[in-house]
Structure 1
Amino acid sequence: MMWSNFLMQEEDRRCAAAGRRRGQQGPGLTPEREGKIKLALLLTAVGATLAVLAVGTEFWVELNTYKVNGSAVCDAAHLGLWKMCTKRLWQADVPTGRDTCGPAELPGEANCTYFKFFTTGQNARIFQRTTKKEMNLAAAVIAVVGLAVVALGCLCIIMVLSKGAEFLLRVGAVCFGLSGLLLLVSMEVFRHSIQALLARVSPEPPLAPALVYEYSWSLGCGVAASLVLMLGGGCFLLLTLPPWPWGPLCPKRGPGGT
């Protein structure tokens, strides 16, 4: 009799301990909630892809010289965070109604080089103008930090789906929102670096040609990536909020309700 009572007490203690562990772990993800998280993750994956495409390509801005009468060629350039490409284009390929050379996607003789300030600390020269390396370096570093924060946000959401750690949803939301903001800051710093480049004209001959600049598709990918990432972060943040406070005030009526 004593032995059976002892076994029953031990079984009760084990069941109580298991119940406490389940209570501490919390309920698992419901299929509906898991589907919402996966949908938001897909949205942020699109934003992350656009961000990598924007940071990795060099079509952030195009610098175009004016076409010269009597010349068969004209010069253009396009640059991004890491390198620049100067191109010599045939004027016959340039659209007729365009006063400047370009667009830079046209076929021509290209010369692409990485910026020296990443290795030797020297400024680059483009069309007798000098880059401001501090601003270019700042834009590149901020963009890389933004990509790292994107990767951290993706890791948090993967942990939510695989381990059920729902508290990481809020961390992932902050990461995605912050990454979108960092990309916007990087693009703004880059815009100021282009303004500084155009103003830093070398006094040495030959004379610097007049330039017209226009932003290109890589920068458009960066803007789209920022907006999509911030939208994805907002979606994850909504998933962490409690039910609407007015839900209990409007109970559903039964079939016999009036």
Structure 2
Amino acid sequence: MFEEQATKVKITSVVILVGMSSMLAAVVTDHWAVLSPRVEKLNATCEAAHFGLWRLCKKSIFIVEEDPQGKGCGPISLPGAKNCSYFKHFTSGEEAEVFEVKTQKEYNISAAAIAIFSLFFMILGTLCVIFSFGKGRDYLLRPAGMFFAFAGLCIIISVEVMRQSVKRMIDSDETIWIEYHYSWSFTCACASFTLLILSGVALLLISMPHMPRNPWETCMDAEPDTLD
């Protein structure tokens, strides 16, 4: 790998690390969306919720003043009793009614599975970048770029599945939730998508063969013909 090429790869690797950190933060945390029911009166307890790919947390909040932006319960940062439960994604047997809607489990299984694929592509891309610094192994930058691009695509698909999940929650007549907003885990997932896609494209461009500055370079670099 040329020195100039190695410098570009190192700079891109910093961006990749930020994207990977954002993705890991999004995958392991449970603040993708915050849901709240309608608040009918003050000095009452309402139950808000926040969730991620693996866990749902419900929080009982005592309302002492009206929400100026609406009639929702919250904000979720208010003190209250908290109860968290993990989704039974990959277990067989009795169906658990996640979010009080049976079909909601299917959305979270899909989003979690796609996120796992994203982590798998991210690991492969990281290995390719590490091994590309070996002598004569710069060709590994191309698959690395593709792996990181695939990781970014997977995480944005997972984001869209979660968006549809939230929409179904709000539209369902079987739930108490009427309001929602996306939280910082959702922002981390979107940021990781942007950074990983840009990093993947950058690695593909860096790995492209050197183009001659003028037509004479190709002729001058060619080996002279030998006469028998």
Q: TM-score range by the shorter chain?
A: 0.7 to 0.9
Aligned residue for 1:118, secondary structure, equals coil
1: CA distance, partners of 2:88 / 2:172: 17
Quick check: 2:42–2:63 contact (8 Å CA) kept in 1? no
Find 2:193's aligned residue among 211, 226, 233.
226
- Structure 1 stretches of 5 or more lacking a match? 1-28, 203-207, 252-258
**Match for residue 6 of structure 1?**
none
1: CA distance, partners of 2:188 / 2:137: 32
Give the superposed CA RMSD.
Answer: 2.3
1: CA distance, partners of 2:115 / 2:130: 23
Quick check: 1:116–1:124 contact (8 Å CA) kept in 2? no
1:212 and 2:179 correspond: yes
1:180 and 2:146 correspond: no
Q: Which has the larger radius of gyration?
A: 1
> In the alignment, residue 146 of structure 1 is paired with which amino acid?
S
Quick check: 1:94–1:101 contact (8 Å CA) kept in 2? no
Aligned residue for 1:236, secondary structure, equals helix
Within 5 Å, give how 1:102-251 maps onto structure 2.
102-120=74-92, 122-126=95-99, 128-202=100-174, 208-244=175-211, 247-248=213-214
Quick check: 1:53–1:218 contact (8 Å CA) kept in 2? yes
> In the alignment, residue 227 of structure 1 is paired with which amino acid?
T
Quick check: 2:23–2:188 contact (8 Å CA) kept in 1? yes
1: CA distance, partners of 2:98 / 2:121: 32
Q: What is the CA-CA distance between 1:177 and the residue it aligns to?
A: 0.5
Query: Residue by residue, what CA displacement relative to the aligned partner does 1:154-177 show, whole Å, maximum 9, x if unpaired?
Result: 000000114541111100000001
Query: What percent identity do the matched residue pairs reach?
Result: 35
1:67 and 2:39 correspond: yes
Within 5 Å, give how 1:63-102 maps onto structure 2.
63-92=35-64, 95-102=67-74
TM-score computed with the length of structure 1 as normaliser: 0.76
Aligned residue for 2:138, secondary structure, equals coil
Change (3 A) 1:162 1:108: farther
Query: Residue by residue, what CA displacement relative to the aligned partner does 1:21-68 show, whole Å, maximum 9, x if unpaired?
Result: xxxxxxxx2322211111111111110110010011111111111222
Q: What is the CA-CA distance between 1:213 and the residue it aligns to?
A: 1.6
Change (3 A) 1:249 1:91: farther
2: CA distance, partners of 1:116 / 1:242: 49
Quick check: 2:47–2:58 contact (8 Å CA) kept in 1? yes
Quick check: 1:173–1:236 contact (8 Å CA) kept in 2? yes
Q: Which segment drifts farther, 231-240 or 71-80?
A: 71-80
Query: Residue by residue, what CA displacement relative to the aligned partner does 1:176-212 show, whole Å, maximum 9, x if unpaired?
Result: 011000111111112222233334444xxxxx43521
2: CA distance, partners of 1:209 / 1:32: 58
The aligned length equals 216
Quick check: 1:138–1:189 contact (8 Å CA) kept in 2? yes
Q: What is the CA-CA distance between 1:142 and the residue it aligns to?
A: 0.5
Query: Residue by residue, what CA displacement relative to the aligned partner does 1:103-130 show, whole Å, maximum 9, x if unpaired?
Result: 223321110000124334624343x544
1:57 and 2:5 correspond: no
2: CA distance, partners of 1:100 / 1:31: 57
2: CA distance, partners of 1:143 / 1:136: 10
TM-score computed with the length of structure 2 as normaliser: 0.85
